């Protein structure tokens, strides 16, 4: 049980707030918020009662305890994001509201502030009260010491189905210059925990630019500041995915940014498109990879807004290169051995001739 003593206007009254968290048989309050991906982002189950001392019309004080919060509503509760922390807001009874703001520090959530407001003009709850409204707010320095026993906003790993396939394009003066169709799944590893996030094309905005040697496709959404795919031309005749940069807001409110401009994925001849229906992984860094599904891209030489013939990724299954390389190396060794043998033989032979 955690109790807070809140004092509104100095000397006028006092609120004692007790919170019971954890194993209590009958909870009165339960909040389950989900994010846009339908994953639970904040879950809280708790019980609380308030003891309020208030001033009466006869300049005395009375104490009232409110433990039955009746039908509470949770309007204004938010999961929180990069800008706003998590917030639990509860409204109950006649004009009571209780708002807790959380802040997150590495892995510990703590209460940033608690505010409780009540209206003493409700004379069934506050008989004989001086007509005053109160808003009390807990002093910040005190509330931040609240330990992790506060109802922590929790993240649950979202179930990982295949991401939906989105169609993206970029236009320049001459019409469509870049085409991409793909299902994207981001895999971010932090503190040895991988979070897998599917990109929902319905809520993803895209833009980009095309130049003769490079092309950019940039995606963004409410939680992705940007996800850039930069394509380049090599040897004047092929294109490839050269660079990926991402900056996104994680559920815990932190910003995750990473990039790599030294990639070589999705390599195909200019004038064609690159296609891969099976799941493929673009490994941007140890902490960030993108799984692609039903991929088709053409970042250059798009004619009339349509894909050109595709080079399929089965062609870049470079497994067969390994046996060839090993075979070539073995052949090299064999030639060296034979050479050594013949040289040795010749020397040997030459040695005999000297006698
Ligand atoms: C919270 O809501 C989500 C979606 O409605 C549900 O899947 C989840 O089981 C709920 N969690 C709890 C603890 O009730
Ligand atoms: C307030 O809640 C605490 C914890 O459940 C309980 O011990 C206390 O008796 C309650 N006070 C009132 C007046 O109901
Ligand atoms: C509030 O809860 C009571 C039961 O506790 C119920 O009878 C009543 O209909 C509810 N009122 C509203 C507005 O939901
Ligand atoms: C709170 O939400 C309920 C439904 O969830 C709605 O009926 C009510 O009008 C909302 N109240 C406020 C103050 O927004
Ligand atoms: C943060 O909260 C403010 C006010 O509630 C709101 O206007 C703003 O859109 C929120 N920011 C985000 C990113 O949700
Ligand atoms: C809680 O956060 C919201 C938005 O961030 C802010 O408007 C509000 O004043 C905060 N409340 C308290 C009590 O700090
Ligand atoms: C509460 O206030 C109303 C008017 O605001 C009054 O009519 C009523 O008698 C009061 N009830 C009590 C119990 O004081
Ligand atoms: C449009 O196409 C012409 C020739 O096909 C080319 O010279 C020009 O650079 C293109 N403009 C843009 C903006 O790509
Ligand atoms: C996410 O990345 C981690 C670490 O690289 C890996 O172990 C895990 O299998 C990946 N998950 C998916 C769904 O790609
Ligand atoms: C995207 O929109 C399509 C059609 O409007 C709908 O069928 C699909 O379920 C939506 N996908 C998601 C992930 O919301
Ligand atoms: C993506 O960014 C553009 C501007 O860069 C902005 O107008 C748009 O609202 C953003 N889209 C989303 C879904 O955040
Ligand atoms: C780019 O990657 C190649 C191998 O993939 C590596 O040999 C090279 O050093 C890298 N260059 C930079 C600047 O990281």
Kindly report, residue by residue over 211-254, the tens digit of the pLDDT: 999 999 999 998 899 999 999 999 999 999 999 999 998 877 78
Q: In angstroms, rounded to a whole number, what is the distance separating the alpha carbons of residues 210 and 178?
A: 7
pTM of the predicted model as reported, rounded to 2 decimal places: 0.47
Q: Answer for the pair 228, 214: CB distance below 8 angstroms, yes or no.
A: no
Predicted local distance difference test score (pLDDT) of residue 253: 77
Q: Whose CA is nearest to atom 13 of ligand 10?
A: 200
The yes-or-no verdict on residue 280 having pLDDT over 60 is: yes
Q: Which of 2-6, 28-32, 64-68, 199-203 has the lowest mean pLDDT?
A: 2-6
Q: Whose CA is nearest to atom 1 of ligand 5?
A: 84
Q: In angstroms, rounded to a whole number, what is the distance separating the alpha carbons of residues 248 and 229?
A: 15
Q: Which one of 1-15, 34-48, 308-322, 324-338 scores highest in mean pLDDT? A: 34-48
Query: Quick one: which H or E segment has residue 117?
Result: strand 108-119
Query: Which of 182, 102, 193 is CA-nearest to residue 149?
Result: 102
Reported as a single tens digit per residue, the pLDDT across 81-114 is: 766 788 999 998 888 889 988 887 666 677 888 8
The yes-or-no verdict on residue 174 having pLDDT over 70 is: yes
CB of 113 sitting under 6 A from ligand 6: yes
Q: In angstroms, rounded to a whole number, what is the distance separating the alpha carbons of residues 243 and 265?
A: 9
Q: Which of 23, 49, 69, when mutated, tests ligand 2's pocket best, judged by the most ligand atoms within 8 Å of its CB?
A: 49
The yes-or-no verdict on residue 191 having pLDDT over 70 is: yes
Query: Quick one: which H or E segment has residue 325?
Result: helix 321-354
Atom number, ligand 6, closest to the C-alpha of residue 84 = 5
The yes-or-no verdict on residue 157 having pLDDT over 70 is: no
Predicted local distance difference test score (pLDDT) of residue 326: 46
Atom number, ligand 8, closest to the C-alpha of residue 174 = 1
């Amino acid at each position: 049980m955690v109790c807070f003593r809140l004092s509104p206007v100095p000397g006028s009254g006092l609120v004692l707030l007790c919170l019971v968290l954890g194993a209590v048989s009958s909870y009165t309050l339960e909040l389950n918020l989900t994010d846009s991906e339908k994953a639970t982002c904040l879950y809280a189950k708790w019980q609380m009662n308030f003891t309020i001392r208030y001033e009466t019309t006869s300049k005395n004080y009375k104490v009232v305890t409110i433990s039955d919060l009746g039908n509470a509503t949770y309007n204004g509760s938010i999961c929180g994001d990069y800008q706003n922390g998590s917030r639990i807001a509860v409204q109950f009874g006649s004009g009571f509201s209780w708002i807790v703001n959380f802040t997150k520090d590495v892995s510990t959530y703590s209460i940033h502030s608690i505010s409780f407001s009540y209206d003493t003009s409700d004379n069934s709850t506050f008989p004989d009260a001086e007509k005053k409204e109160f808003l009390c707010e807990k002093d910040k320095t005190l509330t931040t010491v609240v330990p992790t026993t506060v109802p922590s906003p929790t993240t649950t790993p979202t179930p990982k189905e295949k991401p939906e396939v989105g169609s993206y394009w970029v236009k320049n003066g001459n019409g469509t210059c870049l085409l991409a169709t793909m299902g994207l799944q981001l895999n971010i590893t932090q503190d040895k925990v991988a979070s897998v996030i599917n990109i929902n094309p319905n809520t993803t905005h895209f833009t980009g630019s095309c130049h003769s040697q490079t092309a950019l496709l940039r995606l963004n959404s409410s939680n992705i500041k940007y996800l850039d795919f930069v394509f380049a031309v090599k040897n004047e005749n092929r294109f490839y995915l050269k660079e990926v940069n991402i900056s996104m807001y994680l559920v815990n409110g932190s910003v995750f940014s990473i990039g790599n401009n030294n990639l070589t994925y999705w390599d195909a001849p200019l004038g064609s498109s690159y296609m891969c229906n099976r799941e493929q992984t673009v490994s941007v860094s140890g902490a960030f990879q993108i799984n692609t599904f039903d991929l088709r891209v053409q970042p250059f030489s798009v004619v009339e807004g349509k894909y050109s013939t595709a080079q399929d990724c089965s062609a870049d299954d470079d497994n067969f290169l390994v046996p060839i390389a090993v075979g070539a190396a073995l052949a090299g060794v064999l030639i060296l051995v034979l050479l050594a043998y013949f040289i040795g033989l010749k020397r040997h032979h030459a040695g005999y001739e000297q006698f």
